[in-house]
Amino acid sequence: MSCPRCKSSNMGKDQNEFDCCLACGFVDYDANLPRVIPELDDMFRPSILVLPYVGDSINLQGLKLRISIKQKLSNRTVYVAQCSFCKWPTRMEETRQERKNRRVVTVFKCRRRGHSFEIVSDTIGTYRGWK
């Protein structure tokens, strides 16, 4: 490969991986570079929560529930989750606050088979898990 300006064969790459001539400094910005789109892990996505099972069943220990934020309304956030049992979409039924320990509990119901589960938060408002 040679430089189109000075015809030198002394070509290299600059810090952005474009071809550049080491003799005259010409950089070929018209070259098509392969673009890599990185996949974000779920823990780095602000709109997805991955919650562990915190209930009493031994068979469900280790199951994770993936919840995404669908939209933010004026005073509340709407979450969407897949049912952990049949993988169908669920809908938020209710959100309530327990009086004793001031935890917020959000109840989801499966649209197809009627499975239900709850998301439990700590007293400071961070989500602890599902049961």
Backbone φ and ψ of 118, nearest 5°: -120, 145
pLDDT in tens, 16-34: 888 899 999 999 888 776 6
Asked if the model's pLDDT at residue 45 lies above 80, the reply is: no
Q: Which residues pair with 69 in a beta bridge?
A: 79
Model pLDDT, residue 21 = 92
pLDDT for position 42: 57
Q: Which residues contact 37 (CB under 8 A, 6 or more apart)?
A: none
SS3 percent helix, strand, coil of the chain, rounded to 5, is 0, 40, 55
Question: 75-125, pLDDT tens digit by residue?
Answer: 667 777 887 777 777 877 777 777 676 777 788 888 777 788 888 877 666
Residue type (1 letter), 98: E
pLDDT digits (tens, 9 = 90+) for 52-62: 888 888 888 88
DSSP class of 82: B
